[in-house]
């Protein structure tokens, strides 16, 4: 039997980065795991490794499936209508939960798995979004952070795509980030999440929104906790 015909399995291990000082607080803390639907780190063995890390460290942890937030990204990449992008993002979110159900069932601390629409469709969302837009229009530090974050994304996108309409791309990015800041930094504090768990750096504008809207009132909420995941592919043992 040729190696390429074997079913290959991934083994993964997750660890926290730069959390030495915070780690002693984890066992008494509530966290939320951000899921970017379609990202490799949120699938299969890598997701399972992250869940094991959460089980070993946190008192409780909700899972935020950021599905309809991705409609902005879908519009960018597929040039689809807002309605088409929304529908596709919602379908992909449900498929993600179904696909990863066996891994999610391993989460043995108190938890809630919720979709982005829980907050996007809330009666408070538009007011929170307006506050973010107002901060962008009136706070130079916030505005600068927004522009830096947009520019970072646009450059990454342009490296892998050609014929990009930069103006349109910047618009989609602004909408994405405004919505993300509104929900995470103005609505989630009520949930009293101490930590946000994600396998990547915190976007600059999100950090600025947290410093402006969250930390002055409670510096123990929504602290970014970056996960590093190592994985390897191994073939099953042949009998």
Helices 140-160 and 204-213: angle between axes, nearest 10 degrees: 160
What's the count of helices (H) and strands (E) in the chain, helices before strands? 9, 6
CATH number of 3-234: 3.40.50.11710
What pLDDT shows up at residue 3?
Answer: 29
| Strands, sheet with 223-234, edge to edge from the N-terminal-most edge strand | 9-16, 223-234, 195-198, 30-35, 60-65, 113-115
What pLDDT shows up at residue 234?
Answer: 63
Report mean pLDDT in 10-residue bins for the chain, 239 residues: 40 84 93 95 94 97 98 86 96 97 97 98 97 98 98 88 82 97 97 97 97 97 95 59
What pLDDT shows up at residue 235?
Answer: 54
What pLDDT shows up at residue 219?
Answer: 96
Rounded to an integer, what distance in angstroms lies between the CA atom of residue 32 and that of residue 204? 19
Pairing label, strands 9-16, 223-234:
antiparallel
What pLDDT shows up at residue 19?
Answer: 72
């Amino acid at each position: 039997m040729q190696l390429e015909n074997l079913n290959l399995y991934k083994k993964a291990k997750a660890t926290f980065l730069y959390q030495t000082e915070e780690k002693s607080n984890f066992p008494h803390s509530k966290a939320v795991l951000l899921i970017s639907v379609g990202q490799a780190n949120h699938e299969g063995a890598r997701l399972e490794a992250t869940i094991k890390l959460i089980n070993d460290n946190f008192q409780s942890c909700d899972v935020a499936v950021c599905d309809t937030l991705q409609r902005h990204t879908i519009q960018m990449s597929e040039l689809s209508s807002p309605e088409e992008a929304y529908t596709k993002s919602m379908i992909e979110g449900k498929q993600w939960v179904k696909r990863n159900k066996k891994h999610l069932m391993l989460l043995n601390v108190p938890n809630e798995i919720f979709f982005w629409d829980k907050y996007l469709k809330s009666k408070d969302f538009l007011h929170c979004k307006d506050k973010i837009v107002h901060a962008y229009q009136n706070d130079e530090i916030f505005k600068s952070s927004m522009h830096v974050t947009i520019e970072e994304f646009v450059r990454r996108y342009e490296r892998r795509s050609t014929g990009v309409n930069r103006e349109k791309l910047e618009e989609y990015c602004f909408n994405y980030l405004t919505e993300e800041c509104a929900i995470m930094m103005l609505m989630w504090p009520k949930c009293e999440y101490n930590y946000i768990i994600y396998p990547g750096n915190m976007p600059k504008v999100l950090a600025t929104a947290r410093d402006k809207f969250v930390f002055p009132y409670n510096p123990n909420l929504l602290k970014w906790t970056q996960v590093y995941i190592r994985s390897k592919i191994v073939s099953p043992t042949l009998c």
